[in-house]
Amino acid sequence: MSLSKKIRFKHIKRNLIFRFDAGTSRGVLKNKVVYWIQAFEEKKSEIIGWGEAAPLVKLSVDDRSDFEDVLEDYFKKLESISWDMNEEAILKQVSDLIPFELPSIRFGVETALLDLKNGGKKKILENVFFDESKPIPINGLIWMGDEKFMKRQIDEKLKEGFTCIKMKIGAIDFQKELELLQYIRSIYSSEEITLRVDANGAFSPKEALGKLELLQQYSLHSIEQPIAKGQIAEMKSLCSKTNLPIALDEELIGVLKKGDLLDQIRPQFIILKPSLLGGIKETREWISEAVKREIGWWMTSALESNIGLNAICQLTSQYNPKLPQGLGTGKLYHNNLNSPLTVLNGQIQYDSKVIWEYPV
């Protein structure tokens, strides 16, 4: 049985700069602010557990102007208690001490403590991704932009060996987006390339069914969040009427009664972003509720740096996923940390020969 310990916490703020203007239906992203969390024992400060709190602007429940102050306030509370340094106890204590309304802080603290528990080696959980460098299949992400920019991304992803492509839609002319999907299908069949689209809630309920019918002709795997969250009856109707599988994404944010939501809407898939859902414990609960209902799922990063992405990959690896996951965001930034996370031929892998860059 592990002994209880007092833990100190600090953070480093980093403004990550995108390599390009990353377009979504909610606007263009140029940068992303993240907070790297350090957890350590006072007398063993050379061993540091690292986590990441990274709220998404206009989307995370804890996207707030006083975020850094709130983070520091919680550090003081967390330092005043003793921690049982085993996985189950850590996850329960974090859940008890940090409110559900601060999901990215929960995730960052969970990760930092679990890393510290495992010796500060960036190992968060027991998993074959870290221990055996077993790769995880991922999709290639196509960001919104003009037609030329999107076509160039598609060509690059296909050349890089991706067999699953996810294209963000809903920002440019819909007909142009259909033409881009047709471009892919003119080269690759659905047996060769899996196609996903993500509308980020861009369609109105009135137009959504008609657009889904048009999208069906391209043999798509699924569409993420066709209409904005919070329209439960409309989303339920779409899921029951369309032959194009629907994956809930933003719909899950801030939801406590997981089973109730899934029973109401009955989606074909759910998308899991631990930073937005409240961390490892909450994400595992979503998976459990989905599996009970035979609802498929996959994990997606929420534009974290490689510290957060590493933790999500390790959590994902525990489930031995067969579906491609949304974990290919490590190369988005000019100033991300160099890390062992390596993307090759449509898979992400932990290359233990590569040394982590130290966060400063």
DSSP designation for 82: -
Task: Please tell me the predicted confidence (pLDDT) of residue 77.
Answer: 97
Task: Please tell me the predicted confidence (pLDDT) of residue 331.
Answer: 84
CATH number 3.40.1190.10 given to 4-117: no
Task: Please tell me the predicted confidence (pLDDT) of residue 22.
Answer: 74
For the structural domain made of 128-350, what CATH number should be given? 3.20.20.120
Q: 98 with 74: CB under 8 angstroms?
A: yes
For 134-144, letters b (16+ CB in 10 Å) and e give ebbbbbbbbbb
Same fold, 4-117 and 128-350: no
Of 149, 134, 113, the residue nearest 21 (C-alpha): 149
pLDDT digits (tens, 9 = 90+) for 228-242: 999 999 999 999 999
Task: Please tell me the predicted confidence (pLDDT) of residue 149.
Answer: 87
Catalytic residue positions, numbered: 168, 273
3-state SS assignment for residue 356 = coil
Task: Please tell me the predicted confidence (pLDDT) of residue 58.
Answer: 87
Task: Please tell me the predicted confidence (pLDDT) of residue 24.
Answer: 64
Task: Please tell me the predicted confidence (pLDDT) of residue 1.
Answer: 46
Task: Please tell me the predicted confidence (pLDDT) of residue 150.
Answer: 83
DSSP strand E in the chain: where? 4-5, 8-24, 27-41, 44-53, 83-84, 136-137, 140-142, 164-168, 194-198, 222-224, 246-248, 269-272, 296-299, 341-344, 347-350
Measure the CA–CA gap between 104 and 56, rounded to whole angstroms: 9
Q: For the chain, which residues make up each domain, given as ranges?
A: 4-117, 128-350
Task: Please tell me the predicted confidence (pLDDT) of residue 23.
Answer: 65
pLDDT digits (tens, 9 = 90+) for 239-280: 999 999 999 999 999 999 999 999 999 999 999 999 999 999
Of 67, 87, 33, the residue nearest 305 (C-alpha): 33
User: Which of the residues in the chain have pLDDT under 50?
Assistant: 1
pLDDT digits (tens, 9 = 90+) for 3-51: 689 999 999 999 999 987 776 656 778 899 999 999 999 889 999 999 9
Task: Please tell me the predicted confidence (pLDDT) of residue 303.
Answer: 93
